[in-house]
Amino acid sequence: MSRQELNHTINQLISPGKGLLAADESSGTIEKRFAEIGVESTVDNRQAYRELLFTTPHLHEFISGVILFDETIKQSAQSGQAFPQLLLKSGIVPGIKVDKGLTPLAGTNHESITEGLDGLAQRLADYKKLGAQFAKWRAVFTIADEQPSSLAIIENAQTLARYAAICQSLGIVPIVEPEVLMEGNHTLERCARVSTAVLQAVFSALSVHQVILEYMILKPSMVISGKDHQPQDGVMEVARATLTVLRRTVPAAVPSINFLSGGQSPSAACEHLNAINTRGPQPWNLSFSFARALQEPCLHAWQGKMDNVAAAQKILYDGAKLNSAACLGSLHVK
């Protein structure tokens, strides 16, 4: 393990007022996103779109790192420069999604476990040679009757911890992502109870696997009632509930908590982040690691047309700027 490498990377990633752009959509997910704008998901179109994102002028002002997908980390810009090197040159740290998606977890009622531990060390070593300095692994928890089960919580927490330990052994900073899904009609209070149980299990497992908390990033869900629950809670209620759960479960040694947007609209995710950061100083940097909440407006502006690239990049830049202000609790909400 190279603590010097880990320290260098974590310091770059947690620059105040900066967050992460998650551009690690699987082939299936990006196909769905492209279908929404009538664009075919070909290798060339995916490459063109990712180049649009990564070459957005001055994006480094608000984005410290980008999470890439296996296909993307091996691609290059039209100039011939590999995407990881292009990002590094612009002051942005390249990272890589390393989990291989969800599979049914035996012994549960349609719950899942994340695959990808087999051969992970070698894959990480290969990705590091390509330029990746940090990695991401996502576990998923569904709130329903008697779910998530204790088995699903414990097994996914152990898997997250094993992944994180392997990353650090190779000098790669792990992003630990335990996502509590928004689907359902559960209350804010139910989400808080589940989030507490999940995070307690995750940090217990991280301790067992001797993961160094100072060299990791937590990427959790905000504490929000289910999409189908009415009425939806106010912005400050979400902020209070989220911080209450985090204070009870996340050690102060963790340097940064970068929230996922989890299906929230771009405006809701940004406003919630801002409200969280207006509630006084916390032990951790509180930032974002957004995918759709940053990309969706940009993608719809692009429409797969070269003539729209500049306009789409402006929208991405403006979105990143707004979320940067939210990281500082200085977003002006109308």
Provide, for the chain, the percentages of residues in helix, strand and coil under a 3-state DSSP scheme, each rounded to the nearest 5.
50, 15, 35
Active site residue 177: yes
Q: Is 286 helix (H, G, I), strand (E, B) or coil?
A: strand
Q: Is 261 in contact with 11 (CB distance < 8 Å)? A: no
Active site residue 183: no
Question: Cα–Cα distances in Å, from 50 out to 47, 211, 255?
Answer: 5, 32, 29
DSSP at 26: -
Amino acid at 223: V
Q: Is 195 in contact with 238 (CB distance < 8 Å)? A: no
Question: Cα–Cα distances in Å, from 222 out to 47, 49, 112, 130, 260?
Answer: 31, 28, 21, 32, 7
What CA–CA distance (Å, rounded) separates 240 from 238?
6
Instruction: Tell me which of 177, 179, 271, 296 is the catalytic residue.
Output: 177
Q: Is 138 helix (H, G, I), strand (E, B) or coil?
A: strand
What CA–CA distance (Å, rounded) separates 326 from 18?
10
First to last CA, the chain: 48
Angle at CA of residue 62, ends 175 and 97, nearest 5°: 25
Instruction: Tell me which of 136, 219, 271, 296 is the catalytic residue.
Output: 219
Q: Is 292 in contact with 265 (CB distance < 8 Å)? A: no
Residue among 67, 71, 41 nearest 53 (CA): 67
Amino acid at 121: A
Q: Which residues are tagged catalytic?
A: 177, 219
